[in-house]
């Protein structure tokens, strides 16, 4: 495992980025490289990770049906360029500039989806309460205008 610290963070531009490169041999898959970077600045907290296979393979689609609790332990190797979708939840994670790659298992993938759902719910709640405040403000102003400045 190689670690490089004190690198420049692409988000906050401080020299607080730590780069870690690791390699792993995955049975029936081959050697993979795991890259991760994390900013140690508490306010920034930028992190991103990706995995790359030593041997480049053609794109393929893998469909897996979870049939028992044991299936949750099935290993998942996902690169930043991969799409994962769970049709039953009508959810998918698409590749993109901030898409992470990781080595996990089915249970870990479901947890990641749960985290995304939780974050989205928080954003929606914040939006809903902001809207609620606006709605409450408007009638108050009207009442003031009617009471104070109505021309005779």
> Which of 7, 12, 52, 84 forms a contact with Zn ion (CB under 5 A)?
12
Report long-range pairs for 18-21 (Cβ below 8 Å, ≥24 apart): none
- Structure tokens of 131? 């809207």
The owner of tokens 């393979």 is 57
Q: Which range touches Zn ion (CB under 5 A), out of 28-36, 43-51, 54-62, 133-141?
A: 43-51
Is residue 9 near Zn ion by the rule CB under 5 A? yes
What is the Cα gyration radius of the chain? 24
* Shortest distance, position 90 Cβ to Zn ion, whole Å: 34
Question: Residue 17 or residue 32: which is nearer to Zn ion going by CB?
Answer: 17
Question: Residue 62 or residue 97: which is nearer to Zn ion going by CB?
Answer: 97
Question: Residue 10 or residue 30: which is nearer to Zn ion going by CB?
Answer: 10
Alpha helices, H only, the chain: 106-148
Task: Tell the burial category of 130 from Cβ atoms under 10 Å away from its Cβ (0-12, 13-18, 19+).
Answer: exposed
Residue (of 38, 117, 48, 46) closest to 80 by Cα position: 48
Is residue 18 near Zn ion by the rule CB under 5 A? no
Is residue 19 near Zn ion by the rule CB under 5 A? no
> Which of 33, 46, 102, 113 forms a contact with Zn ion (CB under 5 A)?
46
Is residue 32 near Zn ion by the rule CB under 5 A? no
* Shortest distance, position 82 Cβ to Zn ion, whole Å: 26
> Which of 20, 33, 35, 41 forms a contact with Zn ion (CB under 5 A)?
41
Reduced to 3 states, what is the DSSP secondary structure of residue 60?
A: coil
- Structure tokens of 83? 């799409």
Query: Which residues make up the interface to Zn ion (CB under 5 A)?
Result: 9, 11-12, 39, 41, 44, 46
């Amino acid at each position: 495992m190689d670690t490089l610290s004190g690198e420049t963070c692409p988000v906050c531009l401080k020299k607080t980025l730590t780069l870690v490169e690791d390699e792993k041999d995955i049975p029936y898959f081959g050697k993979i490289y795991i890259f991760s970077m994390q900013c140690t600045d508490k306010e920034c907290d930028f992190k991103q990770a990706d995995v790359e296979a030593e041997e480049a393979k053609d794109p393929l689609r893998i469909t897996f049906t979870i049939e028992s609790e044991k299936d949750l332990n099935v290993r998942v190797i996902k690169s930043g360029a991969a799409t994962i979708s769970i049709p039953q939840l009508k959810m998918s994670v698409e590749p993109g500039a901030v898409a992470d790659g990781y080595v996990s298992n089915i249970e870990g993938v479901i947890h990641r989806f749960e985290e995304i759902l939780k974050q989205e719910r928080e954003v929606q709640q914040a939006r809903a309460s902001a809207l609620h405040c606006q709605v409450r403000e408007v009638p108050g102003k009207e009442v003031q205008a009617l009471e104070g400045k109505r021309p005779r």
